[in-house]
Chains A and B, each alone.
Chain A
Amino acid sequence: MFRSTSDRLLLGLLRCVSALAAAVVMLIVIFLVIESWPALRSVGPLRFFTDPSWHPASAAGGGAGRFNLIPMLIGTLASTAGAVMLATPLGIASALFCRFYAPKRIATGYRRLLELLTGIPSVVFGLWGLLVLAPLIRQWHPPGQSLLAGVLILTVMILPTVALLSESSLNSVPRAYLRGAAALGLSRWATIRGVVLPAARGGIVTAVLLATGRAIGETMAVLMVAGNVVQVPHSVFDPVRTLTANIALELGYAMDIHRSALFVSGLVLMMMLAALIGLAEWIGGGRMNA
């Protein structure tokens, strides 16, 4: 299969580069484990799930800290799930709009707009959420800064990722399929549902996965709008704190075990993510790789 030396060289090079990309994750995990080791050793992994609350600061002063991460884990899951559930249909609809519904000029303009949306710093989204969105929600149901506000901000932030990546996978559906569908006299929606979406499925799943990652990892904007109270939310109007917001809020001021406990929450976040992705791959039955 590989005849020339240049081919063998190329393959070797590519393999090295891929190993480098994978190594970054390993390095980050090692880094997190080293940093969270003091807390894991002195507090024990179990207490991060069984303690009555999250009050880690008193541990630094010699008292008994409390380290329950469960409410924040739920906060992260709830805000991410909400945002992904909203952004996926909106993003796919946006991609379809660009590809099949809009005139060429409008499609280009809309794509440019989505591209700009990706680069707006999270602080700017956060300010908008804090000054415009949260007060609107507050009029409906106080206190305004809530799970709902977090979900909406995250939706706006991950929507371009879903839309742009989905659109590029819609673009790669072979033209022959479309011509075939047209020859059969299928309507536009029937073609999209029956031909285009199944053919672009793998790319769309990748898009949603990357967007999920972004939603889980997003920090500043959520911190500014979600209220950050450590509690299990009973409704979408309750404030929540996500794991990332927790790290960002407290890290700059945390000492000793408290600091180390924050790295544990980073580790938990990555393990959760790894499990989610494994699950997605298992449900997809490896088809997303096809």
Chain B
Amino acid sequence: MKYGWVAVLLLLFAGTGTYVWSHGSQVEPPDLGDGLRGQLVLTGSSTVAPLAGEIAKRFESLHPRVRIDVQTGGSSRGIADARRGTADIGMASRALKPKESDLVHHTIALDGISIILHRDNPATALTDPQIVAIYTGQIANWNQVGGPDAPITVVNKAEGRSTLELFLHHFKLKNQDIHASIVIGDNQQGILTIASDPYAIGYVSIGTASYEVSRGTKIRMLPMKGIEPSLDNVRNGTFPLSRPLNLLTHGEVSELAAAFIAFAQSPQVHDLVEAQYFVPIDQ
């Protein structure tokens, strides 16, 4: 009994170890005749990473001798790693800038950005000038745009985020001019913030927002210039605020990487893209 606990702990670790060992020394799966084998490393945007992980899993199941490791850490990491060769493929949730023309982008999906309010906010539409005025602090109360008498909680994104850049570009704003009450990072944080504040305004990814609306989260999407924010309108190009989700390569691309990129752009993964609430692209 004295050693009972030691035994339990050792068993726990030994069990894990044995499991890992037995899996590590597994017999190599049979070659299915396509000749693809080896390992790929993808790093970059946390928006793209979950989708890329799902695509990688499906690719692995089709090519058992291939292993694809998807890592995350932000678009800039994807660009830097692809350049340095630390990663075979980078991931970025934005279009490349002129300074980044040494990289080649491969778009795998589209995403749009929608203005959202709390569900109980009576405002049904805001014009572009009104949104600009709200974000620059000239309109600070909802009663100035026909709402209740309450101060507006302006939710902005953190510097460098592609959604912020897109938003600023569309409304021809500079980040210096924005008077934010709250600054957020990820989409999900924005949705939770706005769902818990009846007088907040913010902008997030359309896919995420429409999913949350369908689940009953207390947010509402506002049309932009009369166009409903929906994945369909992003797909047909009528919605003004959209961004590409890209895979990035630098220099020569290996056969395996090329095969994976082609797979990620093919209709074989459209269901995976839609399951992540993004818009698949048609090649």
Interface residue ranges, A against B (CB under 8 Å): 53-58, 61, 66, 127, 130-131, 134-135, 138, 142-145, 223-224, 227-230, 239, 241, 248-255, 258-259
5 interchain pairs, CB-CB under 8 A: A57-B159, A131-B196, A142-B197, A229-B181, A250-B158
Question: A58 vs B151: C-alpha distance in the bound complex, in angstroms?
Answer: 30
A-B pairs, top 7 by smallest CB distance, nearest first, are A252-B74, A253-B160, A228-B183, A249-B158, A135-B196, A143-B181, A143-B153
Q: Assess the B192–A254 pair: CB atoms within 8 A.
A: no
Shortest CB distance A128–B (Å)? 11
- Within the complex, the shortest CB–CB distance from B128 to chain A, in Å, comes to 23
Closest chain A CB from B84 CB (angstroms): 14
Closest to B79 in A: A255
A251 touching B183, Cβ below 8 Å = no
Q: Which residue of A lies closest to B175 (CB)?
A: A55
- Chain B interface, number of residues (Cβ within 8 angstroms): 31
Which residues of B are found within 8 Å of A250, using beta-carbon distances? 158-160
Given A227-B181, A252-B46; A258-B160 close (CB under 8 Å): yes
Alpha-carbon gap, A250 to B97, bound state (A):
18
CA distance A258 to B175 in the complex (A): 15
Enumerate chain A residues within 8 angstroms of B181, measured Cβ to Cβ.
142-143, 227, 229, 239
> Chain A residues near B79 (CB, 8 Å)?
255
* Bound CA–CA A241/B193 (angstroms): 16
How near does chain A come to B90, taking the closest CB pair, in angstroms?
13
- B214 on interface, CB distance cutoff 8 Å: no
* Contacting pair A228 B158 (CB below 8 A): yes
Closest approach, in angstroms, between the C-beta of B167 and any C-beta of chain A?
13
A239 and B76 contact, CB distance less than 8 A:
no
A228 to B151, CA, bound (A): 19
The tally of CB-CB contacts under 8 A between chains A and B is 93
Whether the pair A253, B183 counts as a contact (CB closer than 8 A) is no
15 more contacts with CB within 8 A, not counting A227-B183, A229-B183, A252-B75, are A55-B159, A55-B176, A130-B196, A143-B200, A228-B183, A241-B183, A249-B158, A249-B185, A250-B158, A250-B160, A252-B76, A252-B77, A253-B158, A253-B160, A253-B162
Q: Which residues of A contact B40 (CB under 8 A)?
A: none
Q: When chains A and B are docked, how far (Å) is the Cα of A143 from the Cα of B180?
A: 11
A135-B197, A253-B75, A259-B76 known; A248 vs B180 contact (CB < 8 Å): no
Q: A230 to B175: give the CA distance in the assembly, Å.
A: 12
Tell me which of A56, A61, A142, A145 contacts B193 (CB under 8 A): A145
Which of B73, B184, B197 is the one whose CB lies under 8 Å from A252?
A: B73
> What A residues does B161 contact at CB under 8 A?
253
How many Å from the CB of B43 to the closest CB on chain A? 11
Q: A144-B197, A145-B193, A224-B189 are in contact. Are A249 and B183 (CB under 8 A)?
A: yes
Q: Which residues of B contact A143 (CB under 8 A)?
A: 153, 181-182, 197, 200
B199 close to chain A: CB less than 8 A: yes
Q: Tell me the B172-204 residues at the A interface (CB within 8 Å).
A: 175-176, 180-185, 189, 192-193, 196-197, 199-200
Q: Judging by beta carbons under 8 Å apart, are A223 and B76 in contact?
A: no
> Are B196 and A255 in contact, with the CB atoms below 8 A?
no
- Chain A residues with Cβ below 8 Å from B46 are 252
Complex CA–CA separation, A57 to B158 (angstroms): 10
Distance A223 CA – B189 CA, assembled complex (angstroms):
10
Q: Looking at A66, A127, A228, A259, which has the most chain B CB atoms within 10 Å of its CB?
A: A228
Contacting A at CB under 8 A, from B67-113, are 73-77, 79, 97
Also in contact, A254 and B76, with CB within 8 A (given A130-B196, A227-B181): yes
Query: CB-nearest residue of chain B relative to A239?
Result: B182
CB distance from B116 to the nearest CB of A (A): 16
Beta-carbon nearest neighbor of B181 in chain A: A143
A244 CB to closest chain B CB (Å) equals 13
**Which residues in A have their C-beta under 8 angstroms from that of B175?**
55, 57-58
- With most chain A CB atoms within 10 A of its CB, the pick from B74, B151, B182, B192 is B182
Q: How far is the CA of A130 from the CA of B197 in the complex (A)?
A: 11
Q: Shortest CB–CB separation between residue B161 and chain A, in angstroms?
A: 5
> How far is A250 from B75 in the complex, measured between Cα atoms in Å?
11
- The residue among A55, A61, A227 with the most chain B CB atoms within 10 A of its own CB is A227
Question: In the complex the two chains form, is B153's CB within 8 Å of A229's CB?
Answer: no
CA distance A57 to B176 in the complex (A): 11
Chain A: CB-nearest residue to B94:
A253
Chain A residues contacting B183 (CB-CB under 8 Å) are 227-230, 239, 241, 249
- The CA-CA distance from A81 to B79 in the complex, in Å, is 38
B278 vs chain A, min Cβ distance (A): 19
In the bound complex, residues from chain B placing their C-beta under 8 Å from that of A249 are 158-159, 183, 185
